[in-house]
Amino acid sequence: MEKVVITIARQYGSGGRTIGEMLSKELGVPYYDKELLKFASEESGIHEGLFAGADEKLKNSPLVRISKKVYQGQLIPPGSDDFTSAENLFNYQAKVIKGLAEEASCIIIGRCADYVLRDYDNVLSVFVHAPEDYCIEQAKKKLSMPDREIKKFIQKTDKERADYYKHYTGREWTDARNYDLCLDSSKLGMERCVEEIKSYMQVRFR
C-alpha cells in the first residue's frame, strides 16, 4: 500500500485517541497527538507552552469567538508583532502536519488535520463520536470527579474543539460531510472501529 495518512477527529470520551493508538500499532505507523505541539515549537522557535495553551481551543474573548481566521497556509515572519499570535501558532502546527503527511504514513489526532490536508489524495479522514452517556462512562476511567462534573467537562471540551475547528476552517466540526468515515464507537466498540478504518483503507487505496 502507498503512503497513507489517517486523521482522526473525536468527541471527548468517544475513544478516538485510543482507536488511533490501536491503529498505529496494527499498521506499524507513527501516531501523532501532543507530539505536534513539540514539533511546532521546534520548527518555529516559539515556546511549547504557547502551543499548549492554544491547543484545540480559542482565547476566551468574544471578539476571537465571532471572528474567523480560516487557514490559508501563510506563515507570519518572526519580525512581526503577530509572530506568536494564535493564528501563527496554528499556521506552524499546520506546517508540521503537512510535513509529516509528506514524509511517511501516519495517524494524526485532531487539530483540524482533515482540513489542513484536504487537498492530499492519500488522506483518510475519520470522525469518532458517541452518545453522551457512553462518553461519560469512558471519561470516568480517567477523570476522578462526579458524573455531573464530568458531563460539564465533556461539554466544555467538545465546544472548545468545535469553536476552534470553525474558527480555522469555516466549517462545522460535527458535519459528516467533512470526513470520509464517521464511526459511533458505542455501537462498534474500539476494536471494530479499527477494523472498519482498515477495511475502508483497503477499498479506498487498493
CATH value at residue 23: 3.40.50.300
Question: Mean pLDDT of all residues in the chain?
Answer: 93
pTM, two decimal places? 0.93
Instruction: Give the residue, 66 or 68, on which the prediction is more confident.
Output: 68
Confidence of residue 191 (pLDDT cuts 50, 70, 90): very high
Q: Which of 72-86, 107-121, 160-174, 178-192 has the lowest mean pLDDT?
A: 72-86
Residue 73: CB partners within 8 Å, gap ≥ 6?
91, 94
The parent domain of residue 41 ranges over 5-204
What's the mean pLDDT in 131-139?
97
Number of domains in the chain: 1
